[in-house]
């Protein structure tokens, strides 16, 4: 797939998001899935993908530390589209070792320990989920944070050895929410309580109106460290 990136970029230049998704979901014979965090952007993609392809593959990661509102959202989404979002879990023995050795809140102690928790609960399950795919779809937008400024619509994910498609890369936050309201897309109720970005319950919090949308995630760390590793770019 890597050698197809430039060709895809030319073919898709100026195309609407729906057409980009239609191309990847219906015109290519590939294994492709949306890795959904159940955030607003991924809910937009879920709506678009189920409309374009009835057997669209969508999965999420249950870290074991998600807020109740996120589990509610999985149920509401499955009910609306009459589909089942596939759920990947961390390896039991790894979580048991982490918690038994370091306690329930090791991620607050240092960046390394936070990354260790993210690796066990998110990265390893994600890598397992991605291992059978040719392309993974994400809901990343360029304006989301200082760590995401260089992202492209289509890019090579060297760390996971597959192509990464970011169909909403140019969307604004306003466009995302307009789509959700206009299409009655289910969304996480925590968004109504001041949470622009929602991850694990102990690592997400509400922010003041107008604050950086990622500032409620791992708020005790500097902005340049604020990725769990799911979208860190490896150069190869
Ligand atoms: S976001 Fe927090 S609780 Fe969730 S995996 Fe990362 S460190 Fe662990």
Task: Read off the pLDDT of residues 59-73 as tens digits, 9 standing for 90 and up.
Answer: 999 999 999 999 999
Whole-model pTM: value is 0.91
Q: Among 39, 66, 114, which residue has the most ligand 1 atoms within 8 Å of its CB, making it the best to mutate? A: 114
Q: How many CB atoms lie within 10 A of CB 224?
A: 9
Average pLDDT over residues 113-124: 97
Q: Among 118, 217, 229, which residue has the most ligand 1 atoms within 8 Å of its CB, making it the best to mutate? A: 118
Integer CA distances (angstroms), 212 to 84, 155, 218, in order: 32, 25, 13
Q: Is the CB of 65 under 6 A from ligand 1?
A: yes
Q: Is the CB of 35 under 6 A from ligand 1?
A: no
Bigger pLDDT: 127 vs 142? 127
Question: Could you tell me the distance, in angstroms and rounded to a whole number, from the CA of residue 118 to the centre of ligand 1?
Answer: 5
pLDDT score, position 224: 67
Is position 118 annotated as part of the catalytic site? no
Q: Is the CB of 202 under 6 A from ligand 1?
A: yes
Tokens at residue 10, please?
């030319």
Instruction: Provide the mean pLDDT of the chain.
Output: 92
* Residue of minimum CA distance from atom 2 in ligand 1: 203
Domains of the chain: 2-90+128-225 (3.40.50.620)
Q: Is the CB of 66 under 6 A from ligand 1?
A: no
Whether 236 shows a pLDDT value over 50: the answer reads: no
Tokens 């809901």 found at:
139
Average pLDDT over residues 37-55: 96
Question: Could you tell me the distance, in angstroms and rounded to a whole number, from the CA of residue 94 to the centre of ligand 1?
Answer: 14
Report pLDDT digits (tens) over 201-212.
Answer: 999 999 988 888
Among residues 140, 135, 157, which one has the least CA distance to residue 56? Answer: 135
Question: Could you tell me the distance, in angstroms and rounded to a whole number, from the CA of residue 200 to the centre of ligand 1?
Answer: 6
Q: How confident is the model at residue 1 (pLDDT cuts 50, 70, 90)?
A: confident
Sheet-wide strand order for 135-137: 86-88, 58-61, 32-36, 135-137, 162-165, 154-157
Q: How confident is the model at residue 220 (pLDDT cuts 50, 70, 90)?
A: confident
């Amino acid at each position: 797939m890597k050698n197809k990136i430039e060709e895809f970029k030319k073919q898709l230049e100026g195309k609407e998001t729906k057409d980009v998704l239609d191309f990847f979901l219906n015109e290519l014979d590939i294994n492709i899935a949306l890795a959904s965090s159940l955030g607003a952007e991924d809910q937009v993609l879920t709506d678009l993908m189920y409309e374009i392809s009835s057997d669209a593959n969508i999965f999420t990661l249950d870290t074991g530390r998600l807020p109740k509102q996120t589990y509610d959202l999985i149920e509401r989404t499955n009910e609306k589209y009459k589909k089942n979002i596939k759920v990947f879990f961390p390896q039991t023995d790894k979580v048991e070792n982490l918690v038994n050795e370091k306690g329930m809140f090791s991620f607050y102690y240092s960046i390394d320990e936070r990354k260790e928790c993210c690796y066990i609960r998110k990265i390893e399950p994600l890598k397992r989920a991605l291992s059978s795919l040719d392309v993974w779809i994400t809901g990343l937008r360029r304006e989301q944070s200082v760590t995401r400024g260089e992202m492209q619509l289509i890019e090579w994910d060297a760390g996971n050895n597959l192509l990464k498609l970011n169909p909403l890369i140019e969307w604004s936050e306003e466009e995302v929410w307009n789509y959700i309201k206009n299409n009655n897309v289910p969304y996480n109720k925590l968004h109504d309580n001041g949470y622009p970005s929602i991850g694990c319950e102990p690592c997400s919090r509400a922010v003041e109106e107008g604050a950086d949308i990622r500032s409620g995630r791992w708020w005790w760390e500097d902005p340049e460290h604020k990725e769990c590793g799911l979208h860190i770019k490896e150069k190869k």
